[in-house]
Structure 1
């Protein structure tokens, strides 16, 4: 039986077309494997101007740790934790480093967007009262009858009622002098107030830099007097987290690695910090970072369970502490504040 030429032609043509399509498909797959994927753009907000507290994030960026997770991180400066949280809630920023206690107040409003923390960098809050021993203050109980300088926008004073109650101190017996943040340390240095509220790694280090003898400073850390508050944490926009969960996990992994580096190589970390500051002191920021690591990041809890997570029961108790000075529209639960689903397993978060 003879095959018509047209039929043979169509068969051969179909075969060649199929082979060509297969070749093109294979070539496309090869190109996809060779060509790198475009990194995911991340907008990250610090809640305050750069200092040593930003070291883990800056080191993660400078060391290519974010890049290795397929992320391109651009940073910006917000005007405090409330502003940083608002930026994340609105989608103006994808992530931010903010005070988790301010997040608790934010989520305590009945209509608040469901912003959550996904990584706790400061296992203990840096809140402290910094006092002059020469003014008769050696322990927290000595604060009664004294004048406490409180800077505008200071967050530590918000937990002072809970701390005073826990330690049997009458708040009414401590005079509060509202002052500008810029004059907080100068006023204490000059003896115009007996003590100030602030962060242990900021005010105490600043005072020593101003020439106040270290042995005349009493740094009364809230954590040493029973305050269970966590400190600064990474928060994420809920829509971004739902859309790109792997990016959130990658960001957290990179930050853990950056924190490892900051602990092991503090001098290198401070070099990155100083490169982003305008006229910063390397020695001052190195002391600040070492104070921060020892007192707030590398705590006994972190050494045992790993960095980044929370104890839900402790977080719930800290929410109650916030409630001593804040009226909740709806009291948030620990699950409203922290989402642990983006964390690596505990053995991937241990810091040696």
Structure 2
């Protein structure tokens, strides 16, 4: 099993790693096929175990993977933008990563056919998070004259060129400082920077836990300011999709059940995270999960049309926006980054 972490550590204990691997075999007790008959899937998360990643744990602990004949090993990641390239390199069979990075990967590797099979972030959590006491308001122009911190590999920071273009921000008047993931929120809390790039729900939960008053936190969600992109999706390797299409369908079904589980029983989901990660803080994870579900996953569009798919017209708009900041060499190939072929019927995906 490949060990993956982020920053100074993954937040996952050695016992947690063992449980991640062992949980995939839990279906044996349910009378399912023997492990030798199960389809092994190595699945990479976007980040360490926190918040929304509980849906993957729920699919394991509740036996949903096992019920589909899958032996899934889950590993924490080092950022959503790196997930597609690590699957492409053959390290993993599936992952939870940034679909915009997948579009770029396909455009740069025309011979590679990695695709997303289940959209999760219908509304992307990309944001600039600042503090009113540091001069940042709900208006994007307030970022001018400020000092912003961003990890170089951050998915939100990757959309900064688009965000500043759409909102006519003069970034020559902004001081951008490269900082690590681990110190991002602490630096904003201590006033070393005026704002940071990150996922809005996650950053807000961390900042309030560090004592920053909620009324002092400003979240400039990019989706509220013209960015129509999607966010993280479940993606699978071309080999897995071609050799085991039934397993991919089963993976998607299990994850939809996992999402239903965590949205219905969030307290139990937080407990799952606590059992797997020594770094998990129950109240922080509870806030993260609730906010992400409400703001980014179970959107009005998803409640009407079902979890996992995307809107074709919006997808074309998203490709237009990606091409605004870096032209696509083969739009058709790059844009064929998502397939609905492995999704169950709409009725099974409604929340």
Q: Structure 1 length normalisation: TM-score?
A: 0.85
Q: For residues 133-152 of structure 1, what are the structure 2 equivalents within 5 Å?
A: 133-139=132-138, 140-152=140-152
Secondary structure of the structure 2 residue equivalent to 1:149: strand
Aligned to 1:127: 126
Secondary structure of the residue aligned to 1:340 is coil
8 Å contact from structure 2 (residues 107, 334) kept in 1:
no
Structure 2 match to 1:237: 237
The alignment covers a number of residue pairs equal to 318
* 1:104 correspondence with 2:114: no
> Residues 194-224 of structure 1: CA distance to partner in whole angstroms, max 9, x if unpaired?
1111111222211111100000001111111
Q: Aligned pair in 2 of structure 1 residues 123, 216: CA closer, same or farther (>3 Å)?
A: same
Please name the residue that 2:14 is paired with.
Answer: none
Is residue 59 from structure 1 mapped to residue 58 from structure 2 by the alignment? yes
CA contact (8 A) 1:315 1:334 kept: no
Give the deviation of 1:326 after TM superposition.
3.5
CA gap 1:157/1:315 in 2 versus in 1, 3 angstroms: same
Q: Which residue of 1 is the match for residue 266 of structure 2? A: 266
Q: Deviations over 1:87-128 (max 9, x none)?
A: 322333211111111111111214451100000111111111
Structure 2 CA distance for aligned equivalents of residues 332 and 208 of structure 1: 43
**Pairwise CA RMSD:** 1.9
The equivalent residue for 1:43 is: 42
Task: Give the alignment of 1:135-284 within 5 angstroms.
Answer: 135-139=134-138, 140-284=140-284
Q: What residue in structure 2 maps to residue 24 of structure 1? A: none
2:159 is paired with a residue of what secondary structure? helix
1:231 & 1:110 partners in 2: Cα distance?
21
Deviations 1:112-145 (A, max 9, x none): 5110000011111111111111122221231122
Partner deviation per Cα, 1:284-308 (whole Å, 9 max, x = no partner): 1111111111111111111111110
- Which structure has the larger Rg over C-alpha atoms? 1
1:35, distance to aligned residue in structure 2 (A): 9.2
Distance 1:127 1:82, change over 3 A: closer
| 1:341 counterpart SS class | coil
Q: Is the 8 A contact 1:95 1:235 kept in 2?
A: yes
Name the CA distance, whole Å, in 1 between partners of 2:308 and 2:189.
36
2:122 and 2:302 in contact (8 A); partners too: yes
Is the CA contact 1:109–1:330 (under 8 Å) kept in the aligned structure 2?
Answer: no
| Gap runs ≥5 in structure 1 | 1-33
Work out the CA distance in 2 between the residues paired with 1:124 and 1:333: 23
Change (3 A) 1:266 1:39: same
Deviations 1:311-350 (A, max 9, x none): 1221222223233443544335575110111111212211
Q: Deviations over 1:32-52 (max 9, x none)?
A: xx9946222221111321111
TM-score, normalised with respect to structure 2: 0.85
Unpaired runs of at least 5, structure 2: 1-30
User: 2: distance between equivalents of 1:79 and 1:327?
Assistant: 27
Query: Is 1:346 aligned to residue 332 of structure 2?
Result: no
1:70 paired residue number: 69
Measure the CA separation in 1 of the matches of 2:214 and 2:61: 34
Preserved CA contact (<8 Å) 2:308 2:349: yes
In 2, Cα distance between equivalents of 1:88 and 1:228: 26
1:229, distance to aligned residue in structure 2 (A): 1.3
- For 1:206 and 1:195, the matched residues in 2 are separated by 14
Q: What CA deviation, in whole Å up to 9, does each residue of 1:158-212 have, x standing for no partner?
A: 2122122222322333221222222222221222221111111222211111100
Give, in whole Å, the separation in 2 of the partners of 1:50 and 1:249. 24
